[in-house]
Amino acid sequence: MTSFGLGTVDRVIRGRARARAPGRRPGEPRLIGLVYIAPAFVLYALFVLLPATDGAWISLFRWDGVTVATWTGLGNYADAVTDPVVQEAFIHAAVLILFYSIAPVCLGLIITAALSRHRIRGLTAFRTIVFLPQIVAAVVIGVAWQWMYDPQGPLNGLLSAVGLNGLTRAWLGDFGLALPAVGVIGTWVTTGLCAVLFIAGVQQIPLDRYDAARVDGAGPVREFFAVTLPGLRNEIVVALLLTVVDALRAFDLIFVTTKGGPGTETYVPTILIYKRAFQSGQVGSAAAIAAILTAIVLLVSVGIRRLEEAREA
Report 80-99 residues binding another protein (CB under 8 A): none
Q: Least distance from C-beta 66 to another protein, angstroms?
A: 10
Q: Least distance from C-beta 175 to another protein, angstroms?
A: 21
Q: Least distance from C-beta 102 to another protein, angstroms?
A: 17
Q: Least distance from C-beta 29 to another protein, angstroms?
A: 5
Nearest-angstrom CA–CA distance, 133 and 218: 35
Query: Quick check: 113 and 203 in contact, CB under 8 A?
Result: no
Q: Least distance from C-beta 252 to another protein, angstroms?
A: 4
Sequential DSSP letters for 117-159? SS--TTHHHHHHHHHGGGTS-HHHHHHHHHHHHSTTSHHHHHH
In the region spanning residues 113 to 172, those forming contacts with another protein, defined by CB under 8 A, are: 114-115, 117-120, 122, 126-141, 143-145, 147-148, 150, 152-154, 156-158, 160-161
Contact pattern from residue 234 through residue 273 relative to another protein, giving x for each residue in contact according to CB under 8 A and a dash for the rest: ----x--xx--x--xx-xx--xx------------xx--x
Contacts of 259 (CB under 8 A, 6+ apart): 271
In the region spanning residues 7 to 66, those forming contacts with another protein, defined by CB under 8 A, are: 10, 13-18, 20, 27-34, 36-37, 39-41, 43-44, 46-49, 51-52, 54-55, 57-58, 65
Longest CA–CA span in the chain (Å) reads 85
Selection from 295, 305, 273, 268 nearest residue 286 by Cα: 273
Q: Least distance from C-beta 70 to another protein, angstroms?
A: 16
Count, residues in the chain: 313
Nearest-angstrom CA–CA distance, 253 and 300: 22
Q: Tell me whether residue 109 or residue 179 sits nearer to another protein (CB atom).
A: 109
Selection from 264, 244, 266 nearest residue 256 by Cα: 266
In the region spanning residues 187 to 216, those forming contacts with another protein, defined by CB under 8 A, are: 188, 191-193, 195-197, 200, 210
Phi and psi for 62 in degrees, rounded to 5? -90, 120
Q: Tell me whether residue 125 or residue 313 sits nearer to another protein (CB atom).
A: 125
Among 106, 212, 298, 307, binds another protein (CB under 8 A): 298
**Would you give the distance in Å from CA 3 to the centre of its chain?**
44
Q: Least distance from C-beta 186 to another protein, angstroms?
A: 13
Selection from 5, 77, 35 nearest residue 292 by Cα: 77
283 binds another protein (CB under 8 A): yes
The one-letter amino acid at 279: Q
